[in-house]
Amino acid sequence: NAGVTQTPKFRVLKTGQSMTLLCAQDMNHEYMYWYRQDPGMGLRLIHYSVGEGTTAKGEVPDGYNVSRLKKQNFLLGLESAAPSQTSVYFCASSLTGVDTQYFGPGTRLTVL
Amino acid sequence: AQSVAQPEDQVNVAEGNPLTVKCTYSVSGNPYLFWYVQYPNRGLQFLLKYITGDNLVKGSYGFEAEFNKSQTSFHLKKPSALVSDSALYFCAVRPLHSGNTPLVFGKGTRLSVIA
């Protein structure tokens, strides 16, 4: 039981490049979330999903897209990366909206 | 909209002394409150949560938190701090009965326990 895993762990992009971050969970959770963590800003929700095939915007969705084609996977895409998207990205999942969220180890993204 | 305030960016405490990490919240209706801990270069780990019932909630690693409705607070406490408790602590809240409304996290408080 791996819990929540994230791929890749580190990535460096140039401005304008695109990439996809993959989150996978093996706990059969319905809800999945993408957060970004920046110094002094805490954790901010980018997008979330309440079930397979659904997505919803969080607090800071601009510049990101997501997809939840399979229940166990939640993808975060950056179509045209900007330096402001340099951050640590965390994925989380929970059984329902009121249950404990379980977090992945994070992806450190640098956009030059 | 709900919000969480962690008024201290940094808390320093000597090993063996009691520690408190403060959290106040604003939410419509009854709150659903969490504390998470983040060790360096790791994801967040669940510590404890309050839904209803006893105002004193006990969690992992000897931590506890006290829910105070009149002061809208949910402070994290531990009777005797360890150096290994040094980490970043996050408080989070959502309305208890609010459908799919996601959690809102505070900005975090860095706890440093000095030997």
Mutate to test the interface with A, among B105, B109, B110 (most CBs of A within 10 A): B105
Q: Residue A36: which of A87, A86, A103 has the closest Cα? A: A87
CB A48 within 8 A of CB A32: yes
Predicted pLDDT of residue B11:
97
- The encoded tokens of residue B70 equal 């009149």
Q: What is the average pLDDT across A78-82?
A: 95
Percent of chain B with pLDDT over 70: 100
Contact A42 B90 (CB under 8 A): yes
Q: Which residues of B touch A58 (CB under 8 A)?
A: 102
Q: Which residues of B touch A40 (CB under 8 A)?
A: 9, 107
Predicted pLDDT of residue A96:
87
The one-letter amino acid code at B9 reads: D
Q: How confident is the model at residue A84 (pLDDT cuts 50, 70, 90)?
A: very high
Q: Which residues of B touch A46 (CB under 8 A)?
A: none
Whether B99 has a pLDDT exceeding 80, the answer reads no
Predicted pLDDT of residue A17:
97
Q: What is the average pLDDT across B71-86?
A: 97
Predicted pLDDT of residue B100:
75
Instruction: Kindly write down the DSSP assignment for every residue of B82-101, as one continuous string.
Output: -GGG-EEEEEEEEESS-TTP
Shortest CA gap B19–chain A (Å): 21
Predicted pLDDT of residue B78:
97
Whether B97 has a pLDDT exceeding 80, the answer reads no
Which of B9, B32, B104 minimises the CB distance to A98?
B32
CB B26 within 8 A of CB B20: no
Predicted pLDDT of residue B29:
86
Predicted pLDDT of residue A70:
95
Predicted pLDDT of residue A40:
83
Predicted pLDDT of residue A24:
98
Predicted pLDDT of residue B66:
96
pLDDT in tens, B2-36: 899 999 999 999 999 999 999 999 988 889 999 99
Whether A73 has a pLDDT exceeding 80, the answer reads yes
CB B25 within 8 A of CB B11: no
pLDDT in tens, A17-36: 999 999 999 999 999 999 99
